[in-house]
Amino acid sequence: MNASRPSVHPVEAPPPVATDAAAEIPMPRGRMKDIQGMPGTRGSLALRLSQFALSVVALCFMASTSDFPSVTAFRCLVAAAGLQSLWSFSLAIIDIYAILVKRSLRNSIIISIFTMGDGITSTLIFAAACASAGITVLIGNDLNDCGENHCSRFETATAMAFMSWFAVSPSFLLNFWTLASK
Protein backbone atom coordinates (compact mmCIF):
# COMPACT_ATOMS: atom_id res chain seq x y z
CA MET A 1 0.00 0.00 0.00
CA ASN A 2 2.88 2.35 0.79
CA ALA A 3 4.35 1.77 -2.64
CA SER A 4 1.33 3.28 -4.41
CA ARG A 5 1.10 6.45 -2.24
CA PRO A 6 2.93 9.48 -3.65
CA SER A 7 5.96 10.25 -1.61
CA VAL A 8 5.55 13.50 0.37
CA HIS A 9 9.13 13.68 1.60
CA PRO A 10 11.35 12.70 -1.32
CA VAL A 11 14.52 13.12 0.69
CA GLU A 12 13.42 10.60 3.29
CA ALA A 13 11.95 8.18 0.77
CA PRO A 14 13.51 4.69 0.53
CA PRO A 15 15.87 4.07 -2.41
CA PRO A 16 14.02 3.53 -5.74
CA VAL A 17 15.42 0.02 -6.22
CA ALA A 18 13.44 -1.17 -3.23
CA THR A 19 10.20 0.46 -4.47
CA ASP A 20 10.63 -1.08 -7.92
CA ALA A 21 11.12 -4.51 -6.43
CA ALA A 22 8.07 -4.06 -4.23
CA ALA A 23 5.99 -2.88 -7.19
CA GLU A 24 6.94 -5.93 -9.23
CA ILE A 25 5.64 -8.34 -6.60
CA PRO A 26 1.83 -8.32 -6.89
CA MET A 27 1.22 -9.87 -3.48
CA PRO A 28 3.87 -8.90 -0.96
CA ARG A 29 3.24 -11.74 1.53
CA GLY A 30 5.13 -14.40 -0.40
CA ARG A 31 2.23 -15.68 -2.54
CA MET A 32 3.08 -17.54 -5.71
CA LYS A 33 0.87 -17.07 -8.74
CA ASP A 34 -2.63 -18.17 -7.77
CA ILE A 35 -4.57 -20.47 -10.05
CA GLN A 36 -8.19 -20.29 -8.98
CA GLY A 37 -9.02 -23.55 -7.22
CA MET A 38 -5.70 -23.94 -5.42
CA PRO A 39 -5.94 -23.88 -1.61
CA GLY A 40 -6.45 -20.42 -0.16
CA THR A 41 -8.15 -18.92 -3.24
CA ARG A 42 -11.75 -17.87 -3.81
CA GLY A 43 -12.11 -20.57 -6.46
CA SER A 44 -11.11 -23.21 -3.93
CA LEU A 45 -13.62 -21.81 -1.43
CA ALA A 46 -16.37 -21.97 -4.07
CA LEU A 47 -15.45 -25.58 -4.90
CA ARG A 48 -15.43 -26.54 -1.22
CA LEU A 49 -18.81 -24.93 -0.55
CA SER A 50 -20.38 -26.65 -3.57
CA GLN A 51 -18.90 -30.00 -2.49
CA PHE A 52 -20.31 -29.47 0.98
CA ALA A 53 -23.76 -28.46 -0.26
CA LEU A 54 -24.03 -31.33 -2.77
CA SER A 55 -22.89 -34.00 -0.35
CA VAL A 56 -25.27 -32.71 2.34
CA VAL A 57 -28.15 -32.83 -0.15
CA ALA A 58 -27.19 -36.40 -1.16
CA LEU A 59 -27.01 -37.38 2.51
CA CYS A 60 -30.41 -35.87 3.30
CA PHE A 61 -32.18 -37.39 0.30
CA MET A 62 -30.80 -40.85 1.01
CA ALA A 63 -31.37 -40.68 4.77
CA SER A 64 -34.96 -39.51 4.25
CA THR A 65 -35.95 -42.85 2.71
CA SER A 66 -37.18 -45.41 5.20
CA ASP A 67 -35.58 -48.49 3.62
CA PHE A 68 -32.04 -47.33 2.90
CA PRO A 69 -30.50 -49.36 5.79
CA SER A 70 -31.56 -52.60 4.10
CA VAL A 71 -29.15 -52.06 1.19
CA THR A 72 -25.40 -51.98 1.88
CA ALA A 73 -24.60 -49.61 -0.99
CA PHE A 74 -27.06 -47.00 0.27
CA ARG A 75 -25.58 -47.19 3.76
CA CYS A 76 -22.15 -46.67 2.17
CA LEU A 77 -23.48 -43.64 0.31
CA VAL A 78 -24.74 -42.09 3.54
CA ALA A 79 -21.38 -42.71 5.22
CA ALA A 80 -19.33 -41.40 2.28
CA ALA A 81 -21.52 -38.30 1.87
CA GLY A 82 -21.21 -37.59 5.59
CA LEU A 83 -17.42 -37.90 5.45
CA GLN A 84 -17.26 -35.75 2.32
CA SER A 85 -19.40 -33.01 3.87
CA LEU A 86 -17.27 -32.92 7.03
CA TRP A 87 -14.02 -32.78 5.03
CA SER A 88 -15.27 -30.09 2.63
CA PHE A 89 -16.64 -28.01 5.50
CA SER A 90 -13.31 -28.12 7.34
CA LEU A 91 -11.40 -27.15 4.21
CA ALA A 92 -13.88 -24.35 3.47
CA ILE A 93 -13.19 -22.91 6.93
CA ILE A 94 -9.44 -23.14 6.32
CA ASP A 95 -9.91 -21.38 2.95
CA ILE A 96 -11.99 -18.62 4.54
CA TYR A 97 -9.27 -18.11 7.16
CA ALA A 98 -6.56 -18.05 4.49
CA ILE A 99 -8.50 -15.51 2.40
CA LEU A 100 -9.28 -13.28 5.39
CA VAL A 101 -5.72 -13.08 6.72
CA LYS A 102 -4.27 -13.20 3.16
CA ARG A 103 -2.05 -16.14 4.01
CA SER A 104 -0.71 -18.48 1.37
CA LEU A 105 -1.29 -22.24 1.78
CA ARG A 106 1.62 -23.30 -0.41
CA ASN A 107 3.34 -25.43 2.21
CA SER A 108 4.29 -28.89 0.85
CA ILE A 109 3.05 -30.77 3.91
CA ILE A 110 -0.30 -28.94 3.96
CA ILE A 111 -0.85 -29.56 0.24
CA SER A 112 0.06 -33.24 0.51
CA ILE A 113 -2.43 -33.64 3.39
CA PHE A 114 -5.10 -31.87 1.30
CA THR A 115 -4.28 -34.05 -1.71
CA MET A 116 -4.50 -37.29 0.24
CA GLY A 117 -7.74 -36.26 1.92
CA ASP A 118 -9.29 -35.20 -1.37
CA GLY A 119 -8.16 -38.42 -3.03
CA ILE A 120 -9.60 -40.61 -0.29
CA THR A 121 -12.94 -38.79 0.09
CA SER A 122 -13.46 -38.46 -3.66
CA THR A 123 -12.72 -42.16 -4.21
CA LEU A 124 -15.14 -43.13 -1.44
CA ILE A 125 -17.99 -40.94 -2.63
CA PHE A 126 -17.47 -42.00 -6.24
CA ALA A 127 -17.49 -45.67 -5.25
CA ALA A 128 -20.64 -45.23 -3.18
CA ALA A 129 -22.33 -43.26 -5.96
CA CYS A 130 -21.48 -45.95 -8.53
CA ALA A 131 -22.77 -48.73 -6.29
CA SER A 132 -25.99 -46.82 -5.62
CA ALA A 133 -26.38 -46.08 -9.31
CA GLY A 134 -25.95 -49.77 -10.10
CA ILE A 135 -28.67 -50.72 -7.64
CA THR A 136 -30.99 -47.88 -8.64
CA VAL A 137 -30.72 -48.91 -12.30
CA LEU A 138 -31.26 -52.53 -11.28
CA ILE A 139 -34.46 -51.63 -9.40
CA GLY A 140 -35.76 -49.16 -11.93
CA ASN A 141 -34.80 -50.52 -15.36
CA ASP A 142 -33.90 -54.18 -14.96
CA LEU A 143 -36.57 -55.25 -12.44
CA ASN A 144 -39.17 -52.50 -13.10
CA ASP A 145 -39.83 -52.42 -9.39
CA CYS A 146 -40.09 -48.68 -8.76
CA GLY A 147 -43.64 -48.92 -7.45
CA GLU A 148 -42.77 -50.01 -3.94
CA ASN A 149 -39.34 -48.31 -3.77
CA HIS A 150 -38.35 -44.66 -3.43
CA CYS A 151 -36.69 -44.63 -6.83
CA SER A 152 -36.78 -40.87 -7.31
CA ARG A 153 -35.11 -40.20 -3.98
CA PHE A 154 -32.47 -42.84 -4.61
CA GLU A 155 -31.80 -41.34 -8.03
CA THR A 156 -31.58 -37.81 -6.66
CA ALA A 157 -29.19 -38.85 -3.91
CA THR A 158 -27.02 -40.72 -6.41
CA ALA A 159 -26.96 -37.78 -8.81
CA MET A 160 -26.00 -35.38 -6.03
CA ALA A 161 -23.20 -37.72 -4.94
CA PHE A 162 -21.89 -37.80 -8.52
CA MET A 163 -22.01 -34.01 -8.71
CA SER A 164 -20.18 -33.78 -5.41
CA TRP A 165 -17.51 -36.04 -6.91
CA PHE A 166 -17.33 -33.74 -9.95
CA ALA A 167 -16.68 -30.85 -7.56
CA VAL A 168 -14.00 -32.71 -5.58
CA SER A 169 -12.02 -33.88 -8.61
CA PRO A 170 -10.74 -30.40 -9.63
CA SER A 171 -9.56 -29.79 -6.07
CA PHE A 172 -7.71 -33.10 -6.04
CA LEU A 173 -6.13 -32.60 -9.45
CA LEU A 174 -5.10 -29.00 -8.75
CA ASN A 175 -3.57 -29.96 -5.39
CA PHE A 176 -1.74 -32.87 -6.98
CA TRP A 177 -0.51 -30.57 -9.76
CA THR A 178 0.71 -28.02 -7.20
CA LEU A 179 2.51 -30.76 -5.30
CA ALA A 180 4.17 -32.18 -8.41
CA SER A 181 5.23 -28.85 -9.90
CA LYS A 182 7.08 -27.70 -6.78
Contact footprint for a copy of itself (CB under 8 A): 70-73, 76, 126-128, 130-135, 137-138, 141-142, 173, 176-177, 180-181
Q: Cα separation of 13 and 8, whole Å?
A: 8
Amino acid found at 86 = L
Task: Between 46 and 137, name the residue whose CB sits nearer to a copy of itself.
Answer: 137
Task: Name residue 38's beta-bridge partners.
Answer: 36
Cβ of residue 49: shortest distance to a copy of itself, in angstroms?
A: 25
DSSP annotation of 41: S
Cβ of residue 129: shortest distance to a copy of itself, in angstroms?
A: 8
Cβ of residue 122: shortest distance to a copy of itself, in angstroms?
A: 11
Q: Which burial class, exposed, middle or buried, applies to 164 when counting CB atoms under 10 A from its CB (0-12, 13-18, 19+)?
A: buried
Cβ of residue 142: shortest distance to a copy of itself, in angstroms?
A: 6
Half-sphere exposure of 25 (CA within 13 A, CB side): 13
Task: Between 76 and 110, name the residue whose CB sits nearer to a copy of itself.
Answer: 76
Task: Between 71 and 94, name the residue whose CB sits nearer to a copy of itself.
Answer: 71
Cβ of residue 40: shortest distance to a copy of itself, in angstroms?
A: 19
Task: Between 74 and 92, name the residue whose CB sits nearer to a copy of itself.
Answer: 74
Task: Between 72 and 152, name the residue whose CB sits nearer to a copy of itself.
Answer: 72
